[in-house]
Amino acid sequence: MLKRKMFVPILLSGILLLSACSDSDNASGNSDSKSGKTEIKITWRGLGEQDNIKRYLEGFEADFESENEDIDIVLSPITASEGDYFSKVALTMQSAETAPDIVSEDTFMLSADANAGYLKPLDEYVESWDEWDNFIENIKSGTTGDDGTVYGIPTTTDSRGIWFNKEVFEAAGLPSDWEPKSWEDVYAAAETIKEENADVVPFAMNVAKANGEAVSMQTFEMLLYGTGETLYDGENGKWNVNGQGITDSLVFVDEIMNKRDLGPSLSIALNANYSSVMTQDLLPTGGVGMVLDGNWNIAHYTEGGAHPLEDIEATLGFVPFPTKDGQSPGFITMSGGWGWSIPEKSKNHDVAWKVIQAMSTEDLQTKRALTGGTLAVRNDSAESSDYLERPLIEQATKALENANFRPKNDLYPNVSIEIQNAVEAVASGTMSPEEAAANYKSKVTDIVGEENVY
């Protein structure tokens, strides 16, 4: 009998205990932690052990906290594949309990997240901020929504091109100051490498859906914009679905991966770790001849990176990617970048802004560009001597001359997924370039509406 009598109170107290626990959880998510400091949670896409942003932020955290004793910076990376990162960030920003105070946003997601109401407009803040004029004008447009409102402060930008291993080139009898003028030149160099050494992967690019946006931007758009076409006509607000350039770009993927067999095996190409295997492991050791990728990979080869090289420029080259037949302007790059934004659901907008301001000084922006291997977003940082002395910076900046930006449209992320599907389908031999282009056309038409395609 005693046991039965005890049961209900025990059950009740258990429930009370559980709810008490959840209450205290909520409290710790609030701004007032036990120490009385304001917690500012910073979220970015973590990369595990080789995380340049983490290295940079840890340095920043220590300096900032010693100067601002009332603020506690909490580093809260989301370690996920590129695609998953954006889903997870969107989910955390839906609730005040989980929203970070500062979030790292890729410029291509910014419009969509802003239109979803996740991001706080920063116009008021930047108006009274004298440093804002020091940011490079066209990079500011990357963190401005399609309504003209500023939703983020740029922190990195980038260019893309062909990384090549000079030792592999030398062994194959190719010049170490190689500069391709057309896609044919790229095929030719890759075929020469293949003939010389069958164990070396001649040419690699992002083709797996697992690599998310990198497939759209580093591969497909670099090709498409090199055919003279664009993805989206911003003036009329219409998407390109019929262009020959779409098929041509997919033909390039098909030629490299299947017809001429110049790419890596599918086990590597379709692996989620493709990027780190290629850029951190195979490229610096001569396991691959050419890699179509971003300039930021330089960070892997400098001190503290994943694979430091003694003399980077002696081993590696970085050249702008040529247009299809060498047509004007000769080479192109896609340019993107990331910025810091403040989620609308954060409870500490003003303090978060203070932290962003502190991260955006000339010094820290220069440091950010150096740690991450990215390009500077401030005019003064871009002129600092440390930055200009970085290996291959000249080539990376040169590529920017003909930079294109991704469509400013909140449906771009959805279209981008269809690009990734098309590229993977062709690369894996599931579809021919023509079939994939037709499928792309029907999918994109579904997404944006029949009246918005050309």
Partner 1 sequence: MEVTPNISGKKKISDNIKSSIFLSPALILLLIFFLTPMLLTIVFSFTNLALTGTQAQNLKFVGFDNFVQMFNDAELYNSIGKTLIFVLFSAIIGQCFLGFLIAFLMKGKNSTFRRAIGITVIAAWVTPEIVVGFSWVAFLGDNGTLNSIITALSGIEPIAFLFEYPMVSVVVANIWRGTAFSMMAFQAALDDIPLEVEEAAVMDGASRWRIVRNITIPIVKGTITTNLMLVTLQTLGVFTLIYAMTGGGPGNATMTLPIYMYQQAFVSYQLGYGTAISLVILIIGALFSLLYLRFLKVKI
What are the residues binding partner 1 (CB under 8 A)? 83-84, 86-87, 90-91, 109, 112-113, 115-118, 208-210, 265-267, 270, 272, 410-411, 413-414, 417, 421, 424-425, 427-431, 439, 442-443, 446
> Regarding beta strands 38-43 and 71-75, do their DSSP bridges make them parallel or antiparallel, or are they unpaired?
parallel
Q: Which is nearer to partner 1, 90 or 453 (CB)?
A: 90
Closest distance to partner 1 from the beta carbon of 299 (Å): 27
Q: Which is nearer to partner 1, 85 or 353 (CB)?
A: 85
Closest distance to partner 1 from the beta carbon of 78 (Å): 14
List Cα–Cα distances, 134 to 93, 377, 393, 408, in angstroms: 30, 9, 20, 23
Q: Which residue has the tokens 């579809």?
A: 431
Angle 418-420-422 from CA coordinates, rounded to 5°: 70
Closest distance to partner 1 from the beta carbon of 364 (Å): 29
List Cα–Cα distances, 294 to 163, 170, 183, 187, 327, in angstroms: 8, 23, 18, 20, 22
Q: Which is nearer to partner 1, 2 or 198 (CB)?
A: 198
d(CA 345, CA 94): 7
Nearest to 293 by CA among 401, 164, 418: 164
Helix ranges (DSSP H) in 197-243: 213-214, 222-224
Closest distance to partner 1 from the beta carbon of 68 (Å): 32
Closest distance to partner 1 from the beta carbon of 383 (Å): 37
Closest distance to partner 1 from the beta carbon of 87 (Å): 5
Strand partners, 316: 165
Closest distance to partner 1 from the beta carbon of 106 (Å): 12
Tokens describing residue 293: 């990728």
Q: Which is nearer to partner 1, 51 or 82 (CB)?
A: 82
Q: Which is nearer to partner 1, 108 or 125 (CB)?
A: 108
Q: Which is nearer to partner 1, 151 or 387 (CB)?
A: 151
Q: Which is nearer to partner 1, 373 or 413 (CB)?
A: 413
Closest distance to partner 1 from the beta carbon of 92 (Å): 11
Closest distance to partner 1 from the beta carbon of 257 (Å): 11
d(CA 227, CA 244): 9
d(CA 368, CA 374): 8
Q: Is the dihedral of CA 439, 441, 446, 447 positive or negative?
A: positive
Q: Which is nearer to partner 1, 51 or 410 (CB)?
A: 410
d(CA 215, CA 218): 6
Could you tell me if 353 and 213 are in contact, meaning their C-beta atoms sit under 8 angstroms apart? no
Nearest to 234 by CA among 155, 118, 152, 141: 141
Sheet with 38-43, strands from edge to edge, namely: 71-75, 38-43, 102-106, 337-341, 153-157
Q: Which is nearer to partner 1, 117 or 234 (CB)?
A: 117
